[in-house]
Chain A
Amino acid sequence: MTDGRGCSNGRVNSPPPDEGGAPVGRRLVLTMLGLGAAGVAAAPVLQRALENGLGAVADKDPTGLTGLLPNGGGFRYYSVTTSVPERTAADYRLTVDGMVDRPATYTLASLKALPQTRMVRDVQCVTGWRVPETPFEGVRLSALLDAAGVRPGAKAIRFTCFDGAYSESLTLDQARRPDVLVATRMQDKPLAHSHGGPVRLYVAPMYFYKSAKWLSGITVTDSVRPGYWEELGYDVDAWVGRSNGRDDAPTA
């Protein structure tokens, strides 16, 4: 073909230089799929190794950037509303009402004046992250219920929050457990706004979505009313390791 006729036919008829060769693109796609599947299978081992390595680095990391890496450890901020108003000791109020003999309203100071309980347990989120050995401190929920005088026939508690949207629920038996607190301190510091401060619920044996942030109302009811995430499919009885299809180690 290349006989020197001086026209462009030779070029048009020869195999195009950029259309032959090995199918490297397809191999790359298949390699990625294989690596992805292998990653899913090997995740338990890899995750443990990374957590150990990253944990050690994160302890010495002044920038906090390691906290942004997957499995970097620490808490994640979840809010279901656009913005959450700030409440301070001056304007924070917690109401206890519903099927009780003595409805009450607490300020931050009056909550702190009651007997305090401090507990150190792991925190387990239903999305998978776990923060070990986190101290919470506050008033036992059972103490507030006893002070209000729960009426016969009451079966459950509904919790509401000053973010305006979040709600939670517990049965009366669950609410009376000694490891359920109305918490005002976390990690031995006053509860920060981003952690649900000044006051949040703390339900030690359950997934962390039960521990409603920005707690503002405790209402005793005659039946369980599912909370925000529970309306969207999460389990109402959210025992760590025995609900939501998960098998995490229990936290209490």
Chain B
Amino acid sequence: MTSTPGWAVPTDGTTPLLPEHGPKVRRFTTAERWVHRTTAWLTLLCVATAAFLYVPQLAELVGRRHLVVTVHEWSGLLIPVPLLAGLVSRALRADLSRLNRFGPHDRQWLRAALRRDRTPGSRPAGKFNAGQKLYAGWIAGAVLVMLGTGLLMWFTGLAPLVWRTGATFVHDWLALAIGIVLAGHMAKALADPEARRGMRTGSVERPWARSEHPLWREPEE
């Protein structure tokens, strides 16, 4: 069986699947970008109001506790809505499925990331790398836990007191973890202008896609 470079599916991540020449690569559809944008703003609003409720110095700065609580509750409740609405988009569903599935190359990527190994070809990735996949799954689960515990605290008649105290405990500590993880998510974006351009304009430069996501197959239009 013969093999032509750039034709058989590479498993070592050294031969990019995207052809070298061509226009920019389409990465996200308009619907996907709007889902990301609205989710991001709702999340920032929710995190900011959380800080103003929780950090004494900030609470002293703004006061107006009843208003801040209301904004926090509603922004938090609405965070899953853009993604749920976006499920009508086939492209978004396809990307969710890509984020869900872990192949052998993802394990290789994670091992290289843990070793801080940046040599070319050491971190094979499809359209999403293993770090992005882990982040997506973790934050989706975390948001659902925050939603559940938040609702228990909001509607005090829902459950007995001991549940409410437990929900407060989980909500507080998970909020701290989410704050750290979100800071990491934004730091990664800040460090990679082309990744940001992909989310802002929908398209990325071909060389970037070939080096960062060698196993990414050109989308069929």
User: Once the chains bind, are B176 and A17 in contact (CB under 8 Å)?
Assistant: no
**What CA separation (Å) do A32 and B147 show in the bound complex?**
12
A153 at the binding interface (Cβ < 8 Å): no
State the majority secondary structure of interface residues on B: helix
User: Once the chains bind, are A19 and B149 in contact (CB under 8 Å)?
Assistant: no
B8 at the binding interface (Cβ < 8 Å): yes
B162 at the binding interface (Cβ < 8 Å): yes
User: Once the chains bind, are A20 and B144 in contact (CB under 8 Å)?
Assistant: no
Interface magnitude class on chain A:
35 or more
B65 at the binding interface (Cβ < 8 Å): yes
B44 at the binding interface (Cβ < 8 Å): no
User: Once the chains bind, are A128 and B141 in contact (CB under 8 Å)?
Assistant: no
Nearest-neighbour CB distance to chain A for B138, whole angstroms, equals: 6
A22 at the binding interface (Cβ < 8 Å): yes
Partner of A43, one of B2, B103, B142, B165: B165
B137 at the binding interface (Cβ < 8 Å): yes
User: Once the chains bind, are A194 and B60 in contact (CB under 8 Å)?
Assistant: yes
A24: B residues at CB distance < 8 A = 100-102, 106, 133-134, 137
Partner of B63, one of A33, A40, A80: A80
**What CA separation (Å) do A194 and B63 show in the bound complex?**
11
User: Once the chains bind, are B100 and A26 in contact (CB under 8 Å)?
Assistant: yes
User: Once the chains bind, are A21 and B63 in contact (CB under 8 Å)?
Assistant: no
Question: Which chain A residue has the least Cβ–Cβ distance from B59?
Answer: A77
B97 at the binding interface (Cβ < 8 Å): yes
User: Once the chains bind, are A28 and B138 in contact (CB under 8 Å)?
Assistant: yes
**What CA separation (Å) do A39 and B173 show in the bound complex?**
10
B118 at the binding interface (Cβ < 8 Å): no
Question: Which chain A residue has the least Cβ–Cβ distance from B214?
Answer: A17
User: Once the chains bind, are B101 and A23 in contact (CB under 8 Å)?
Assistant: yes
Nearest-neighbour CB distance to chain B for A26, whole angstroms, equals: 6
Nearest-neighbour CB distance to chain A for B5, whole angstroms, equals: 11
Question: Which chain B residue has the least Cβ–Cβ distance from A75?
Answer: B56
Question: Which chain B residue has the least Cβ–Cβ distance from A128?
Answer: B168
User: Once the chains bind, are B170 and A40 in contact (CB under 8 Å)?
Assistant: yes
Known: A76-B59, A245-B161. A32 touches B142 (CB 8 A): yes
B104 at the binding interface (Cβ < 8 Å): yes
B174: A residues at CB distance < 8 A = 36, 39
Question: Which chain A residue has the least Cβ–Cβ distance from B129?
Answer: A18
B167: A residues at CB distance < 8 A = 40, 43
B169: A residues at CB distance < 8 A = 39-40, 43, 46-47, 70-71
User: Once the chains bind, are B217 and A16 in contact (CB under 8 Å)?
Assistant: yes
Question: Which chain B residue has the least Cβ–Cβ distance from A28?
Answer: B137
Apart from A23-B101, A76-B59: 12 A-B pairs, beta carbons within 8 A: A4-B2, A18-B103, A18-B125, A23-B102, A24-B100, A28-B140, A40-B167, A47-B165, A71-B172, A81-B64, A82-B63, A245-B161
Show 29 residue pairs from A and B whose CB-CB distance is below 8 angstroms, ordered by the A residue: A2-B7, A11-B217, A12-B220, A16-B126, A17-B217, A21-B102, A21-B103, A21-B104, A21-B106, A23-B100, A23-B102, A24-B133, A25-B100, A28-B134, A30-B141, A32-B137, A32-B138, A32-B140, A33-B145, A36-B141, A36-B174, A39-B166, A39-B169, A39-B173, A43-B167, A76-B54, A81-B64, A82-B62, A245-B157
